[in-house]
């Protein structure tokens, strides 16, 4: 968990992407969105989901930085939304 929280704290992305993700977080539905974003039938625990989301987001960020035509800003924002939401699920467990 410490590694994931450190990664999240050190994540540097364009402000517009982060702001868009913050605005979309209220529409996040774990069962629906994780199934599509990390290709799973049942959602894993938040820590495992966050690890898989980090991997997917990092690949998307590399595509963005390379200027690849296959880059999808919508998918990037969806991944950031899911990462933020899953990180929120971990917070109550951190104090326990």
Rounded average pLDDT over 52-67: 95
Q: Is the pLDDT of residue 83 over 90?
A: yes
Rounded average pLDDT over 57-75: 95
Q: Is the pLDDT of residue 5 over 80?
A: no
Q: Which pTM does this prediction carry?
A: 0.85
Q: Under DSSP, is residue 39 helix (H, G, I), strand (E, B) or coil?
A: coil
Count the domains in the chain.
1
Domain that holds residue 67: 2-94
- The span from the CA of 9 to the CA of 56, in Å, is 17
Position 1 scores a pLDDT of: 47
Rounded average pLDDT over 20-36: 94
18 vs 7: which has the higher pLDDT: 18
Give the torsion sign (CA, 81, 86, 89, 93). Answer: negative
Cα separations in angstroms, 12 against 5, 6, 39, 43: 14, 12, 25, 26
Cα separations in angstroms, 6 against 9, 11, 24, 71, 85: 5, 9, 23, 26, 16
């Amino acid at each position: 968990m410490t590694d994931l929280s450190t990664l999240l704290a050190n994540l540097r992305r364009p402000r517009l992407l982060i702001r868009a993700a913050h605005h979309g977080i209220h529409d996040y539905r774990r069962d629906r969105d994780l199934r599509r974003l990390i290709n799973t039938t049942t959602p894993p625990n938040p820590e495992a989901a966050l690890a898989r989301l980090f991997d997917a987001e990092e690949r998307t960020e590399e595509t963005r930085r390379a200027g690849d035509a296959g880059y999808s800003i919508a998918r990037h924002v969806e991944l950031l939304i899911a990462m933020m939401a899953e990180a929120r699920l971990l917070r109550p467990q951190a104090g326990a």
